[in-house]
Amino acid sequence: MRTALITGVTGQDGSYLVDFLLAKDYVVHGVIRRASTFNTQRIDHIYKDPHNSKARFFLHYGDLSDGTGLRHIIERVQPDEVYNLAAQSHVKVSFEQPEYTADVVATGTLRLLEALRDYMQNTKNKSRFYHACSSEMYGNAPPPQSETTPFAPRSPYAVSKLAAYGYCVNYRESYDMFICNGILFNHESPRRGETFVTRKITRAMTRIKLGLQDKLYLGNLEAKRDWGYAKDYVEAMWLMLQQDKCADYVISTDATYSVKDFLNQVAKQLELDWEKYVEIDPRYFRPTEVNCLLGDSSKAREELGWKVKTSFNELVTMMVEHDLELARQERTLLDAGHIL
């Protein structure tokens, strides 16, 4: 049985990756942050009490800001594969917390690389490392964007991801480590955080449909993104680490839609006129916007045999159906007199 270590295991991608790796018979260890409330909702369906002899999924408290803790986890877990997914991943928040974002996203990745390098040197074990880069690193570079497109980051988040990308390339070249940068374009799902625009829209419009909310406040509706399904994308992460040689890959659907297109598609499914409910609030504008992301994933398709399985419309349908069910449950409780 191979052993994987995932940072960011409680996030959208981390949770899908656990599902995927357990189905492939891995033993999976995840790093979680201590919080005063539970932050494990996305992995609760798969977590077993570690005293259970069948348990193959284990959690460890850790934080990318704490290098010593990461080092101890790596020594204890002895991973064959490390997936570094942890991040302050919200672009708008990175303008408000640039220093924290840099510490976790850029220096945090460096801490993990250093811990892994020492572990490999001391034990002579070989581990493979996946790093979650981002299409945000391209900024406003003309689309389509591929592995050879020059980076032009436009937020503290994107600059930090680019620094982490650089550390990964440097460690690969300096220490002969097997490291892959996955340059993933936006990917969404019913597990997407509720402050990212797609989920914000599906949550709000389904609540509006059931009379639970009146308005939806958004920012720039003209921005275009290449939106895929997170579950399809975690397979690409794994495929990268199964190759004979390590390399960096763009993962995208190679199609782009505006925020307005997304709204239109959601409203169509719910038979609502979104223009009656949506208002623009400048607080959601970013100091510097990324106007159009559109990937060219031909390298991943040719070398990894990876392909997109879920279309834009299928993704929207899945998210709308999921959030409509949440809204129905909320409506039922409200109608039964529960104060939420």
Q: Quickly tell me which residue has 């990756």 as its tokens.
A: 17
Instruction: Look up residue 164 and give its two tokens.
Output: 């982490």
Strand partners of residue 31: 7, 60
Choose the one of ligand NAP, ligand F7E, none that binds residue 231, judging by a C-beta under 5 to 8 angstroms depending on kind.
Answer: none
Choose the one of ligand F7E, ligand NAP, none that binds residue 197, judging by a C-beta under 5 to 8 angstroms depending on kind.
Answer: ligand F7E
Terminal-residue alpha carbon distance, the chain? 45
Helix or strand holding residue 324 (H, E)? helix 312-335
In the residue annotation, 157 being an active-site residue is answered as yes
Question: Minimum CB separation from ligand NAP for residue 96, in Å?
Answer: 15
C-beta of residue 25 within 8 angstroms of C-beta of residue 1: yes
Instruction: Look up residue 222 and give its two tokens.
Output: 């003209």
**Near ligand F7E in 27-56, by CB under 6 A:** none
In the residue annotation, 136 being an active-site residue is answered as yes
Three-state SS at 180: strand
**Near ligand F7E in 235-254, by CB under 6 A:** none
Question: Minimum CB separation from ligand NAP for residue 156, in Å?
Answer: 12
Cβ count near 31 (within 10 Å): 26
Q: Quickly tell me which residue has 């850029």 as its tokens.
A: 106
Site string for ligand NAP, 254-273 (x = CB under 6 A): --------------------
Length, in residues, of the chain? 340
Contact between 135 and ligand F7E per CB under 6 A:
yes
* Residues of the shown chain interacting with ligand NAP in the complex, contacts defined by CB under 6 A: 7-14, 31, 33, 35, 39, 63-65, 85-89, 104, 132, 134, 184, 186-187, 193
* Residues of the shown chain interacting with ligand F7E in the complex, contacts defined by CB under 6 A: 89, 91-92, 134-136, 185-186, 195-197, 200, 218-220, 223, 225, 259, 284, 286, 289
